[in-house]
Amino acid sequence: MDSAIRPLIAGNWKMNGVTQNLSQLEALTSGLVARAATCDVLICPPATLVRVAATTCADGPVLIGGQDCHFEKGGAHTGDISADMLVDAGAKFVIVGHSERRADHHESSALVRTKAQAAQEAGLVPIICVGETQDEKLAGRALEIVTGQLTGSVPDIVEGGDIVIAYEPVWAIGTGMVPTSDDIANMHGAIRDWLAGRFGADGATIRILYGGSLKPSNADQILPLANVNGGLIGGASLKAEDLLGIIDAL
Ligand code: PGA
């Protein structure tokens, strides 16, 4: 953890959550207020809940984001959602290039970059996800894959902290497996070097999140590591109690 950078704890609800789950946002808000938490907290619910979640969390400590956006502002794209629509619904952030979208929807890094740019133009902070698969890791290619994804996915123009990077080893997502602390610190250090090389002083202020089976029981080992500026959390973000347990590890 770098104390100069305000940490971000981001929950990704994925394709989970209906109206009754909004009670978790209320519980999360109460827990954060009671703790006077010193990090930013974001929940990215499914698109159907973004507006009502933003209304539920209005004026409170919980920020709301989307899980994906289209790269165009509008038009004939059945089923898609633009960055402007997310802003209109109350979102402040949007996840782009999650490995599940790269795999399920064949999203390339070039496409992810256009989505990140669309988010920036709309005034959203894109959380750009990168990470190697298990085969790539076993082949010793993790660093090459991650830097390749950064090169392809990160926009050319970045001002201050208007993007976030999430390092999520694909093999750690939803599996209960996590990399060693050394592996996480080394990869986050490499991502920091890449950002500093590309954006100079601005690169030193960009938050780098770790994601992949982050939970209350391992957060105190992962979140204090150098260049880990918070987490992107799937399963353990669905219950306020679990997410608060991770926040307590900060
Ligand atoms: P997980 O998911 O915490 O359930 O492993 C993380 C993610 O996919 O963002």
Q: What is the pLDDT of residues 29-77, one digit of tens each?
A: 999 999 988 899 999 999 999 999 999 999 999 999 999 999 999 999 9
Give the confidence band of 2 by pLDDT, cuts at 50, 70, 90. low
Q: Has residue 89 got a pLDDT over 80?
A: yes
pTM for the full model?
A: 0.97
Q: How many CB atoms lie within 10 A of CB 142?
A: 23
**Which of 232, 237, 238, 239 is the best mutation target for the ligand 1 pocket, counting ligand atoms within 8 Å of the beta carbon and taking the most?**
232
Domain assignment present for 2: no
Domain assignment present for 13: yes
The three-state secondary structure class of 206 is coil
68 C-beta closer than 6 A to ligand 1: no
What pLDDT does residue 4 have? Answer: 84
Domain extent, residue 107, equals 8-248
In DSSP terms, 62 is beta-bridged to: 41
Give the confidence band of 1 by pLDDT, cuts at 50, 70, 90. low
Domain assignment present for 44: yes
Q: How far is the CA of 13 from the centre of ligand 1 (A)?
A: 9
Domain assignment present for 1: no
Q: Has residue 229 got a pLDDT over 70?
A: yes
pLDDT digit string, tens, across residues 74-85:
999 999 999 999
Domain assignment present for 100: yes
CA torsion sign for 179, 155, 68, 25 is: positive
CA nearest to 70, candidates 55, 83, 85, 52:
83
What pLDDT does residue 37 have? Answer: 84
Count of domains forming the chain: 1
Domain assignment present for 213: yes
Domain assignment present for 116: yes
Domain assignment present for 58: yes
173 C-beta closer than 6 A to ligand 1: yes
The three-state secondary structure class of 179 is coil
Domain with residue 55: its CATH number is 3.20.20.70
